[in-house]
Amino acid sequence: MPQEIRADVAALIEQATADRKVSSSELLGVPREIVDAVERAGFQATTGTIAFAGQYATGSFAVQYNNPQGGFSSAWPEWAFRLAKDALLGNRRVWVASNGDPFGSNLVFVMIFP
């Protein structure tokens, strides 16, 4: 994905979350305003869990992301792998946005839930 598109998406997310107060009922999910901003940008986003995160001998990073639609195993970029690893080790859920199926080459962002 071109860098300028990633920057545009990041700007939309940052704008939607700037100085936002989150009610306690929203803490278990993603606030609607943020979901709407991601969808308006043309991306899909799902919540799920990381089943495994590791590294191949070639140096690429492997991640298995599971969401209600199924499991997605692929090579993730290092920035996303680090977040997946933290989520796996902390037994935490993640919110993943992608340009298509949530495979590493399509990732837009990865957020870890508290």
Q: Each residue of 47-57: pLDDT tens digit?
A: 999 999 999 99
Q: What is the pLDDT of residue 3?
A: 61
H-helix or E-strand spanning residue 37: helix 32-40
Which residues of the chain, if any, have pLDDT below 70? 1-6, 13, 16-28
Amino acid at 53: A
Q: Which residues on neighbouring strands pair with residue 109, listed in sequence order?
A: 97
Q: What is the pLDDT of residue 24?
A: 42
Instruction: Report the first-to-last Cα separation within the chain, whole angstroms.
Output: 28
CATH classification of 3-112 is 2.40.50, yes or no?
yes
Whole-structure pTM value: 0.77
Q: Which residues on neighbouring strands pair with residue 67, listed in sequence order?
A: 70
